[in-house]
Amino acid sequence: MTVPPVVDLVLGASACCLACVFTNPLEVVKTRLQLQGELQARGTYPRPYRGFMASVAAVARADGLWGLQKGLAAGLLYQGLMNSVRFYCYSLACQAGLTQQPGGTVVAGAVAGALGAFVGSPAYLIKTQLQAQTVAEMAVGHQHNHQTLLGALETIWRQQGLVGLWQGVGGAVPRVMVGSAAQLATFASAKAWVQEQQWLPADSWLVALAGGMISSIAVVVVMTPFDVTSTRLYNQPVDRAGRGQLYGGLTNCMVKIWRQEGPLALYKGLGPAYLRLGPHTILSMLFWDELRKLAGRAQHQGT
């Protein structure tokens, strides 16, 4: 089924925004766990967040039930910006036949993800900072004290200028490149494998669901270290010149985490990360696949 790239742009962004509404509470919990014990050796810091269910309860107690949807507006903006670019560019690559070449799917997914990450980076920056904010006794990581999405944009623009909105982009681009390549490559191959097994009707939404479930495992395994690093880079305090006060960039951040917190710290929040990325991958790819089918049918009926 061929869908025009512009249609894929709209469908991809819509699918991921729908998924974001359901998975944003998991993103809040994951962000808190990834910031907990920042640059401190294991066992030397208080742990207000312990495991997934206990962390959900802790967020709800500290911030109220609505606190589980902190940063939702910024998250939706990010998903819309990033995935419209990502799916559009990937669709162009498919249309040009690049994904039929050896390794083409992975390369196309990575490049499309990098472009999407760059465009959506300001929204992800604000989302991370808003989700980290909480009452003093439950705070982890630096507290930026933004009130709203627009207020955060204004504050960063006023203090750091336009460049400040892309703080942390050096961690975001590799994060989404790796995740996007894994997601798009493994979803296509996993879905094809499920169809070959003929366990399910070929046109059933369950085929896309099964493909998404398999894809999400690969995404979480390869993406979590970059996800932890990206969260740290986005949330760190900066000086007047906009330079990070804790980390000098992606490599510096990874090295510091490894040395001061141990290598397993690069997988902090792995459980919630899967519970967040897993459903998000499954829902977004399922929604995208089903919307593409609908668009394809509508296009066919119109001709």
pTM to 2 decimals? Answer: 0.83
pLDDT for position 197: 79
- CA–CA separation, 222 and 212 (whole Å): 16
- CA–CA separation, 245 and 236 (whole Å): 7
Can you tell me which residue has the tokens 């296009």?
299
pLDDT for position 303: 56
pLDDT for position 286: 63
Query: Could you list the pLDDT tens digit for every one of the 303 residues in the chain?
Result: 455 677 767 776 777 787 788 889 999 999 999 999 999 998 899 999 988 899 999 999 999 999 999 999 999 999 989 888 888 888 888 888 887 888 788 888 888 889 999 999 999 999 999 999 999 999 999 999 999 999 999 999 999 999 999 999 999 999 888 877 777 778 778 778 777 777 777 777 677 777 777 777 888 888 899 999 999 999 999 988 888 999 999 999 999 999 999 999 999 988 877 777 666 666 666 666 666 676 666 666 665
| Fold topology of 5-302 | Mitochondrial carrier fold (1.50.40)
Domain boundaries, the chain: 5-302
pLDDT for position 205: 67
